[in-house]
A and B are shown apart, each in its own frame.
Chain A
């Protein structure tokens, strides 16, 4: 970003500033800072803080979506309750545990693939070649496309009868009969992962590329002079140097993947084989109208993500505790 250099007059003005005056000014500035922050904090409290508290409260009630005004407090029964010789509640629901497992599987596999493919793309884009700007621009395309649209686009390409992917695989002789990508329990999760990897790899690639472009070139020159194998250079020099930036990107993507909703909802709707924690919670809330139970599931998901966020903030706290 272009920042105009300070003019001599500005520098002179700064120099004559009195220390006594600065004290008064800074008190005024701190007061102004709080006044500036209040609207933002009020809005965040209204859209995030309060609704979250209400959700946690609802999770201990039997509220229904059609009427949120009449309900009774039932404690932790939505989470887990022992009644008549059987366990009930979110934590006793095998469908919930299936959703937990699906979400974790989705997160680990998608983020893993995105990292590897993203790194490969970033390393390629880090080379000098003609048309590099165009290729970099092209990698932004999937990222710009709404998730719903990419889910529908891939839904069409993966169509069991008329899909281009089945056609391609049949033509190449890799399969004998068309596959039902989105409905076959063994394939549907992979279909979801495929779409997500396609959509979010650019994000990973761009962040990795930004990290690569900040690397000092002297290590590489030294390695080149010594004739070190490029693969070795990558694992011994490049990867350790971009590791911190890559980790931040991975954590961001993991937190994002854990709350995945739209790609799964649109591609495979409420199928149990791909249902994520968010899809489960929304189904309970809106479709089954069970706000108490759905809120309990949402709260568990919130706790999982909060725990991860707190550990991330704790690990990254040095980065923004510092100077103004």
Chain B
């Protein structure tokens, strides 16, 4: 074998390697993005176009969007979702911050068991509390009311918030707190004047993750609300039906799906770095 063929073979091998790597990237992108792209594509079709499979967006027919947004109950459900998710985040954040301060900054007996309880609750199968929670919600007169969802969603947002905020809270330097104590600041002042301003990024991350979890929740929303105007968007989408069971209005469905998903995707893409750190703080470190 001459030197020249050796070099060309080496170069060819490198090109093949590069091409294979490029194909791998394309495969990953197709795998992750294509289904959503296909939903967008479908949402712009109507009538018989729906039933012809193609892979490019050829027309922007917005009739599906118009008719979905024309439905009063769907718009109601968007508002319900916004209300439920933001109130859930607010409550989880308020209770979570104080709890995380106690768990992350103060050493006291019983701390480890409390952390375990919190982690344990975050692993509850939701269906295991369904009948008990239903009774509580009935007793509070919140059945078929979005506030029942704000109440019940704390079962998964609160443990998560406490857990992640505790992890972040622990990483803050001790000196700050000591200085505040020397200045005679009470724990409440220390928490809200010293720590909370520094927790901004951590709070944004946990808040966003809790918001997404609340926005996407289905089981409680399906069980604790009854009428269309009280529902949240996942339930509204799940219950979109056509003339018969086999005749779903796929165009409407995909338009509704895109409407409720695009804001989330935009948020996630803006905060992607933070989300990765939040997910790892919630899982790997825990």
Q: A124-B24, A152-B257 are in contact. Are A324 and B106 (CB under 8 A)?
A: yes
A92 proximal to B (CB < 8 A):
no
- A304 smallest CB distance to B (angstroms): 9
Checking B42, B129, B191, B234 against A51 with a beta-carbon cut-off of 8 angstroms, the contacting residue is B129
Q: A40 near B123 (CB under 8 angstroms)?
A: no
Nearest to A47 among chain B residues (CB) is B155
* Contact, CB under 8 Å: B178 / A13: yes
Q: Is the CB of A286 within 8 A of B135?
A: no
B272 touching A32, Cβ below 8 Å: no
Max chain B CB contacts within 10 Å: which of A10, A16, A44, A258? Answer: A44
User: Which residues from 198 to 214 on chain A have a C-beta closer than 8 Å to any C-beta of chain B?
Assistant: 198, 201-203, 206-207, 209-211
In the assembly, what is the distance between CA of A58 and CA of B29, in Å?
48
Which stretch of A141-149, A220-228, A231-239 is in the interface?
A: A141-149
* Structural contact, A55 and B132, CB atoms closer than 8 A: yes
Q: Does A138 contact B (CB under 8 A)?
A: yes
Known A-B contacts A40-B98, A156-B253, A298-B131; the reply to A282 vs B175 at CB < 8 A is no
Q: Chain A 257-282, CB within 8 Å of chain B: the 1/0 string?
A: 01101100110000000000110011
Question: A152–B125 contact, CB under 8 A?
Answer: no
In the bound complex, CA of A137 to CA of B158 (Å): 27
Q: How far is the CB of B175 from chain A (nearest CB, A)?
A: 4
Residues of chain B contacted by A65 (CB below 8 angstroms)? 131, 134
Interface string of B158-194 (1 = CB under 8 A from A): 1100100000101111111011011100111001000
CA distance A43 to B174 in the complex (A): 29
Complex Cα gap A320–B131 (Å) = 33
In the bound assembly, the distance between CA atoms of A320 and B188 in angstroms comes to 25
A147 to B, closest residue via Cβ:
B216
A51 touches B132 (CB 8 A): yes
The answer to the question of B19 belonging to the interface, with a C-beta cut-off of 8 Å to chain A, is no
Contact B131 A156 (CB under 8 A): no
Bound-state Cα–Cα, A310 to B113, Å: 12
Selecting from A83-91, A104-112, A185-193, A247-255, the interface stretch reads A247-255
Complex Cα spacing A28 to B264, Å? 43
State whether the Cβ of A41 lies closer than 8 Å to any Cβ in chain B: yes
Considering only residues 96-117 of chain B, those with a C-beta below 8 Å from chain A are 96, 98-99, 101-108, 112, 114-117
* B198 contacts partner chain A, Cβ-Cβ < 8 Å: yes
Contact B35 A142 (CB under 8 A): yes
**A48, B155: Cβ atoms closer than 8 Å:** yes
Q: Of the candidates A55, A131, A146, A255, which one forms a contact with B130 in the assembled complex, judged by CB atoms under 8 Å apart?
A: A55
Contacts of B253 in A (CB 8 A): 152, 156
Judging by beta carbons under 8 Å apart, are B50 and A162 in contact? yes
Q: In the docked arrangement, what's the CA distance between A36 and B186, Å? A: 12
Contacts of B24 in A (CB 8 A): 124
Complex: A206 Cα to B265 Cα, angstroms = 16
Contact B257 A149 (CB under 8 A): yes
A179 interface residue (CB < 8 Å to B):
no
Determine whether the beta carbon of A32 is less than 8 Å from that of B106: yes
Given contacts A10-B179, A68-B135, A156-B254, contact A281 B130 (CB under 8 A): yes
Chain A residue nearest in CB terms to B266 = A144
Judge if B237 is at the interface, Cβ distance under 8 Å. Answer: yes
**DSSP majority for the B interface?**
helix
Assess whether B1 is interfacial by the CB under 8 Å rule: no
Interface contact B126-A261, CB-CB below 8 Å: yes
- Residues of A contacting B50 with CB < 8 Å? 162
- Assuming the contacts A40-B99, A206-B276, asked whether A255 and B182 have C-beta atoms less than 8 A apart, the reply is no
Chain A residues whose C-beta falls within 8 Å of the C-beta of B250 in the assembled complex? 156, 159, 162
Flag whether A39 is at the interface (Cβ < 8 A).
Answer: yes
Residues on B with beta carbons closer than 8 Å to the beta carbon of A277: 127
Across-interface contacts of B134 in A (CB, < 8 A): 65, 68
- Among the stretches B2-10, B59-67, B68-76, B278-286, the one at the interface with A is B278-286
In the complex, the answer to whether A25 meets B181 with C-beta atoms within 8 Å is yes
Q: Least Cβ distance of B157 to chain A in Å?
A: 10
B237 CB, min distance to chain A CBs, angstroms? 5
Say yes or no: is B25 at the interface (Cβ < 8 Å to chain A): yes
Chain B residues lying within 8 Å of A198, measured Cβ to Cβ, are 31-32, 35
Judging by beta carbons under 8 Å apart, are A285 and B32 in contact? no
User: Which residue from chain A places its CB closest to the CB of B35 in the assembled complex?
Assistant: A153
B104 touches A153 (CB 8 A): no
State which of A144, A163, A262 has its C-beta within 8 Å of the C-beta of B265.
A144
Q: Is the CB of A44 within 8 A of B260?
A: no
Interface pair B28/A135, CB less than 8 Å apart: yes
CB contacts (< 8 Å) of B283 on chain A: these are 207, 248-249, 252
A-B contact pairs, 15 of them (CB 8 A): A1-B171, A10-B179, A14-B175, A36-B102, A39-B98, A40-B99, A52-B129, A65-B131, A141-B268, A142-B32, A146-B218, A210-B276, A265-B218, A278-B219, A302-B124
Residues of B within 8 A of A (CB): 21, 24-25, 28-29, 31-33, 35-36, 38-39, 42, 50-51, 53, 91, 95-96, 98-99, 101-108, 112, 114-121, 123-136, 138, 151-152, 154-155, 158-159, 162, 168, 170-176, 178-179, 181-183, 186-188, 191, 198, 201-202, 212, 215-216, 218-219, 223, 233-235, 237-238, 250, 253-254, 257, 260-261, 264-265, 267-269, 272, 275-277, 279-280, 283-286
Additional 15 contacts, C-beta under 8 A, given A6-B176, A294-B131, A309-B123? A6-B175, A9-B179, A30-B108, A33-B102, A40-B95, A47-B152, A51-B132, A63-B131, A131-B25, A138-B32, A144-B268, A156-B42, A305-B128, A320-B286, A324-B107
